[in-house]
Structure 1
């Protein structure tokens, strides 16, 4: 096995050149229409084939080599050295790859600031083959796609899976995984970790007080009344930092009520989408929490970690978030040894809801990309096939306490973290009833600061539901009418 490893430390400071490099791939325009982006964030050379990708070397296609990768060319890998670290790559995926392809030298780099490290190489048309594009310095995906800098991953998803040649990679993944990384019908991003969203609650307090886990919104209001009577706050949310977290139960409950088709107009920026009756009803339900003083006092001015920490220390019962919450608040949880967290799906607004209670929002995350100008893109896709094997996915879950986008990969895996175990159980109970929306990924400023701040006002009961709808519509209109923003569409 041949492998070389390099670790790049975080930069000590940011000079003007580094700033300009970051701007070129993070979607920040320096002039009208983003002219700097158009002129600077483009790689390639005279060998381009016209679609932003150079002609890559290839080998013979066979049953053992379905992608036809060259078996003697090096593979350059960049891994974000953040919350997951990079040992899952060096100790699991790379050895698996080299066991099958021993003559391919893996050149591994762990970087803290992916954008600062790689933007000059993208500009020069000499990027690495495989990039874990994550962290605070991650490159803006929509900009990369618009500038033709990413490789089409369709061959990967159409290839046989690592474990079963009769099952494609596409059919081995959880619902919504490919769509999460698709732009205008073409998949450019492999999102590997899988996040389950819902309401996280203090299981200890619920059990000690005999409070039932609510399944409808009326039951939620009844339980909140009982909780508030004890002096404990029923709810927290992520304060001034991220009131948008409350959009997640809002849209999930609306989708359960009326069906997943209500999400399509939201993502497609259709006029009037935010005024759907189910969304209005859900917004009114969320506003009831403020009207009845069911939020932790002062939460509207807190930083998100402060609010979540108070929840973990027992000062509130319910908290909206994704399945990263357990790891994010590990220190606060450790201070409260009796605390045990669990996840519940968002309640039904009505017993007549179109979708069942077990429906959850879940989405693949932690993005991995192959640059269009990669020297060895086929080997990079083969490396992704390794990651998407059952062995590769299970090993990842065991090492970093995260679910993956591979269907069935968590079956039989011993998960000691109670929160993640409950998220796994919720995902299994949901079956095919998994929902998601894409506008935050496609149009980040629409979500934050746009709708984020509007929902914050709703949670403080400073605006009515009608005003909330009107202002959300205005944000969507701004995005829709901005010709400098590349638009995406979804069919269903």
Structure 2
């Protein structure tokens, strides 16, 4: 067996382990591998100084790939200018197809230096870590901030940011840059026209949807092609009904977790939206952009989403829309957690591939992103909070972001942050998301949805090829 055959075999082995290699693509990927070449040659680092704490080679170039989604790419281009003021030039690329664009490069060993691993085509970070494709970011955490040499990066991050980037150990592999508030988004203007308030109980929700229906307005729409968006309201709804330990059991793949009474009640409640005709017609076949556009047009009152939506939907949002977010509507007074309970967490993940040419440069770019200039720029450009404490203080916030900040403040300690979407991406997005999609389209009843979710979770728990996590 020659060197090319060995390379080909190792390539296929790595791709399969990462869950990156689909059967139809195998021929193309293996033919690329057998051609020789590929792989990054590490550049030598620079001298570590007070001004260059990570030891960046000041002449070396840097490559950054950004997910061009709800936050766009301008904030990154602005950070490039700061980087280039002291170091080498930055090669920038932006795409919505992170996995399609980058998985062949990761498999071949020549990834970019920074990846904004986000969107519907995000790569499975847990698998990348297991295959030693992601660089630990602890050197970044222990570096001084750009603005205060006596303060470490780790000391300015919002609580939970470091934990969110850890996967079964003490090392942080992923920097979740934005701080996202998930919930039920709506137009205050639309509610005012109906002369209703945001519903705090499910009976109130059904009453508001019924009134909207009489006016030719749907109660809800959602990203039917990306049904995991429903988790943004469904997961905290489950926690409200049954308490935070229900989500903990789901995260830990505990037997019977999805059969908890809180899950059944949540599924029954959401299914009632379908059964009563409160879902915008055609919703199961549209994506996030299309659903947001229909919502902006006043075709539906409510949409499950995250706080990136204000920037992502700004081109179609009317000037008088008055975008707002609220915690998911409670079931009733028997709920274990208060109405103010919300899902909020550090999000929008960035990683530095371990086989990148310029690992120190990649970390330095992230250090720049965590500086005051970049965090303020990000918030003002895309109407989103960052993972840096107090970074938005004193800034003039748009209506949606101001609302998100108020919701987060009102929640206090009642903030939940499930991990299933980080730890078990396929289970969360495709299997659980697909099951909820089928239920909301009326293809299955809530009881069957519960059964399917539990079966999929059990299959994942028994799959020895999937690394398990626990909280």
Cα pair 1:80 1:135 within 8 Å, conserved: no
Shift of 1:214: 1.6
Match of 2:4 in 1: none
Range that drifts further, 208-217 or 152-161: 152-161
How much has 1:72 moved relative to structure 2?
Answer: 4.0
Partner SS for 1:332? coil
CA pair 460-130 structure 1, distance change in 2 beyond 3 A: closer
Task: State the partner residue of 1:45.
Answer: none
Write the distance in 1 (CA, Å) between the matches of 2:440 and 2:203: 18
Specify every segment of 5 or more residues in structure 1 that has no aligned partner in the other structure, as ranges.
1-18, 42-47
Partner of 1:105: 88
In structure 2, C-alpha distance between the alignment counterparts of 1:119 and 1:300, rounded to whole Å: 29
Residue of 362, 372, 385 corresponding to 2:344: 362
Residues 1:300 and 1:151: Cα distance change in structure 2 (over 3 Å): closer
Distance in 2 between the 1:276 and 1:296 partners? 29
How far did residue 470 of structure 1 move? Answer: 1.0
Tell me the equivalent position of 1:409: 391
Q: Structure 1 residues 278 and 151, CA, compared in 2 at 3 Å: closer, same or farther? A: same
Larger mean Cα displacement after TM superposition, 76-85 or 434-443: 76-85
Q: 2:76 aligns with which of 79, 85, 89?
A: 89
Distance 2:321 2:58 in 1: 53
RMSD: 3.6
CA deviation vs aligned residue, 1:436-477 (integer Å, no higher than 9, x gap): 222223322212331223212322455443322111011112
Cα deviation, residue 411, structure 1: 1.9
Residue equivalent to 1:80: 66
Asked if structure 1 preserves the Cα contact closer than 8 Å seen for 2:14 and 2:107, the reply is no
Matched residue SS, 1:355: coil
Once residues 254 and 270 of structure 1 are traced to their aligned partners in structure 2, the CA distance between those partners, rounded to angstroms, is 16
1:371 aligns with 353
What's the offset of the Cα at 1:199? Answer: 0.7
Count residues in correspondence.
Answer: 449
Q: State how far apart, in whole Å, the 1-side matches of 2:283 and 2:92 are.
A: 41
- Is contact 1:54-1:372 (8 Å) kept? no
Q: What is the rounded CA distance, in whole Å, between the counterparts of 2:360 and 2:168 in structure 1? A: 23
For residue 221 of structure 1, what is the aligned residue in structure 2?
206
Tell me, yes or no, if the aligned pair for 2:124 and 2:425 is still in contact at 8 Å. no
| Contact 1:199–1:343 (CA under 8 A) maintained in structure 2 | yes
1:257-296 to 2 correspondences below 5 Å: 257-296=241-280
SS of 1:183's equivalent? Answer: coil
Q: What does residue 14 of structure 1 align with? A: none
Q: How does 1:315-330 map to 2 (within 5 A)?
A: 315-330=299-314
User: 1:296 and 1:379, CA in 2 relative to 1: closer, same or farther beyond 3 A?
Assistant: closer
Q: Equivalent of 2:372, from 390, 395, 400?
A: 390
User: By how many angstroms is 1:152 displaced?
Assistant: 0.8
Q: How does 1:145-294 map to 2 (within 5 A)?
A: 145-164=129-148, 167-185=151-169, 186-239=171-224, 241-294=225-278
Question: How far has the Cα of 1:361 moved from its partner?
Answer: 1.2
Answering whether residue 335 of structure 2 is matched by residue 343 of structure 1, we say no
Q: How many angstroms does 1:322 deviate by?
A: 1.6
Taking structure 1 as the reference length, the TM-score comes to 0.79
> Residue 333 of structure 1: SS of its match in structure 2?
coil
Q: 1:488 aligned to 2:468?
A: yes
Return 224-233 or 180-189, whichever deviates more: 224-233
The CA distance in 2 between the partners of 1:328 and 1:376, in whole Å, is: 31
CA distance in 1, matches of 2:67, 2:207: 45
Q: CA deviation at 1:281?
A: 1.9
CA drift of 1:118 comes to 5.3
CA offset digits 1:322-374 (Å, max 9, x no partner): 2233333334334xx54332111112223354433222212333322122234
Choose which of 446, 460, 463 in structure 2 pairs with 1:479.
460
1:230/1:123 CA distance change after superposition, 3 Å = closer
Structure-2 change in CA distance of 1:82 and 1:299 (3 Å): closer
- Tell me if the contact between 1:236 and 1:299 (Cα under 8 Å) persists in the aligned partners: yes
Relative distance call for 1:117 and 1:303 in structure 2 (3 A) is closer
SS in structure 2 at match of 1:187: coil
5+ long unaligned stretches in structure 2: 1-10, 34-39
Residue 418 of structure 2 corresponds to residue 437 of structure 1? yes
TM-score (norm 2): 0.82
Q: How far apart, in 1, do the equivalents of 2:457 and 2:207 lie?
A: 35
- Corresponding residue of 2:36: none
Change (3 A) 1:471 1:409: same
Mapping 1:13-162, distance limit 5 Å: 27-29=19-21, 57=45, 59-60=47-48, 67-70=53-56, 72=58, 74-80=60-66, 82-83=68-69, 84-91=71-78, 93-97=79-83, 102=86, 104-112=87-95, 122=106, 125=109, 127-134=111-118, 139-162=123-146
Distance 1:479 1:333, change over 3 A: same
Between the aligned partners of 2:151 and 2:240, the Cα distance in structure 1 is 31
Superposed CA offset, 1:103-145 (max 9, x none): x324333254656665566456554433334467654423321
Deviations 1:156-200 (Å, cap 9, x if unpaired)? 224443344565423322343233332222321112123221111
